[in-house]
Amino acid sequence: MRIAVLMLAALTCAFALAPTQAAEKSPAATPAPDKTAAAAPKKPATPAAENSPAAAPEKSAAAGPRVFVLDGAAILDARRRAAAGDKEVVAAIESLRREADKALKAGPFSVTEKKDTPPSGDKHDYMSVAPYYWPDPSKPDGKPYIQRDGEVNPDRGGGDNTQMGGMTHAVGRLAAGWHFTGDERYAEHAAKLLRAWFLDEKTRMNPNLNFAQSVPGRSDGRGTGIIDTVCLIELVDSVGLLGGSKAWTAADQKGLEEWFGKFVGWLEESKNGRAEARAHNNHGTWYDAQISIYAFFAGKPDVAKRVLAESSKRIDAQIKADGQQPAELARTKSWNYSIYNLRAWFIAARLGEHVGVDLWKYQSPDGGSIRKALDWLLPLAKDPSKWTTKQIVKLKPEELAPLLRTAAAEYHDPKYAEAAREISPAAPDWRERLLGPRP
């Protein structure tokens, strides 16, 4: 069985310690093609059944949730194993239940909760500050801010990115909780959080990032700020896990698809969107991954196919024949950014499968490829002492393990799974037990 990839919580917008900032150098209501189909439960779980992991809403054995990065077949397999009493899966569901219970207390979240008002005068516009810019000590007012690559300004935590991260984190656990237990409390709260962020007139976010990652004294918002919304990749699949819940209605689904359709239009047509599309490093890769999954969700597979087909040109430019990623190695957290960019490539490759674009096996004229980028990092994960480029935070070899587990399935090569166990002996968490390996 091919198991696809899931976004790590580290990609959640709120967690600014994950790489988020580049150096200045530089489908509607139908499933995605050839993948899992949308599946409504044959009947809602009964209250008495909600206490049993095996009592999640019934699904057709031939169908699965409408997901794009996750593997619906892997999710269905976990459900079947839970119904059969598989101890590992049942334990994973109990762990998930504990996190979903905590998420019941999360929120509300809204862009309108921020203290400051964007230059537009509309609090519905998303706003955040660039993480790696700080006041210039030589200027009385500190402006214009200066860059300190890799060093996160505490002011970063006061933007809408924190609210969006909290929302995405909670919805992910609530949606999975409902999908695997049938407890409608989880679906109800997830739907409430989604409506507040995207749909309710008084609290919703406008579908733009005009004021993302502003730099005081320099810019009210930049194309690089588009990377703030990488967490919404995970959210799209979380919405798929809600499919069939009484709490998430057809009107909700339609409204959210329309929101993402408008966001895709903004990503393609705005000044910031066009700037990010031209980015030569991880920002460009994440742009492709984002616009592709949002286009699938909004019923625009033609847009996704066009973007993903063009993505191979980024591999040509980003990955050398030996697998090095020079633009990421130039950073102050070169290990983190090398993995961060590769995560984006794994997601883009997974999305390409929906439209016949094979990025997993693509090789540039010079010999660069996704697999070679992984293979270049692997021996360094086994022996971090050989990492020679700048790394201002502790190098954590285990951060490569999720990519290795995914690669083992995608490339049908057990050496990657063996390497993952070597550098990260900890047992997989509930996400991998229930949703499959993730980058």
CATH number, domain at 242?
Answer: 1.50.10.100
DSSP class of residue 331 equals S
Q: Give pLDDT, residue 324.
A: 98
Q: How far apart are CA 130 and CA 102, in angstroms?
A: 30
Instruction: State mean pLDDT over 136-164.
Output: 95
Type of residue at 393: V
Instruction: State mean pLDDT over 256-263.
Output: 98
Hey, what are 201's tokens?
Answer: 């007139």
Q: Predicted confidence band at 64 (pLDDT cuts at 50, 70, 90)?
A: confident
CA dihedral 346, 351, 355, 359 (to 10 degrees): -10
Residue 4 in domain: no
Q: How far apart are CA 341 and CA 328, in angstroms?
A: 8
Instruction: State mean pLDDT over 78-101.
Output: 97
Among 240, 219, 234, residue whose Cα is nearest residue 286: 234
E strand intervals along 186-260: 211-214
Beta bridge partners of 219: 215
Instruction: State mean pLDDT over 237-258.
Output: 97
Phi and psi dihedrals of 69, rounded to 5? Answer: -100, -40
pLDDT at residue 269 above 70? yes
Among 336, 401, 397, 407, residue whose Cα is nearest residue 371: 407
Helix crossing, 231-241 with 250-269: angle to 10°?
A: 160
Residue 3 in domain: no
Whether residue 63 contacts residue 37, with contact meaning beta carbons closer than 8 Å, is answered with: yes
pLDDT tens digits for range 177-208: 999 999 999 999 999 999 999 999 999 999 99
Residue 1 in domain: no
Instruction: State mean pLDDT over 127-150.
Output: 97
Whether residue 180 contacts residue 98, with contact meaning beta carbons closer than 8 Å, is answered with: no
Hey, what are 407's tokens?
Answer: 């690669």
Q: Give pLDDT, residue 38.
A: 32
Among 28, 34, 32, residue whose Cα is nearest residue 2: 34
Residue 263 is part of which domain span? 9-435
Lowest mean pLDDT among 18-27, 219-228, 330-339, 402-411: 18-27
Q: How far apart are CA 333 and CA 267, in angstroms?
A: 28
Q: How far apart are CA 53 and CA 55, in angstroms?
A: 5
Q: Give pLDDT, residue 384.
A: 97
Q: Predicted confidence band at 59 (pLDDT cuts at 50, 70, 90)?
A: very low
Sign of CA dihedral 247, 248, 250, 255: positive
Q: How far apart are CA 161 and CA 166, in angstroms?
A: 9
Hey, what are 323's tokens?
Answer: 């697998």
Stated pTM of the model: 0.89
Whether residue 359 contacts residue 348, with contact meaning beta carbons closer than 8 Å, is answered with: yes
CA separation, residue 59 to residues 34, 79, 82, 202, 250 (Å)? 18, 9, 13, 36, 18
Residue 2 in domain: no
Separation of first and last alpha carbons in the chain: 18
Q: How far apart are CA 181 and CA 369, in angstroms?
A: 40
Number of structural domains (the chain) is: 1
Q: Give pLDDT, residue 48.
A: 28
Type of residue at 81: R
Instruction: Render the burial of 112-146: b for 16+ CB within 10 Å, e for the rest.
Output: bebeeebeeeebbbbbbbbbbbbbeeeeeeeeebb
Q: How far apart are CA 246 and CA 46, in angstroms?
A: 12
Hey, what are 198's tokens?
Answer: 């995207």
Instruction: State mean pLDDT over 347-353.
Output: 98
Hey, what are 392's tokens?
Answer: 């201002």
Q: How far apart are CA 106 and CA 111, in angstroms?
A: 15
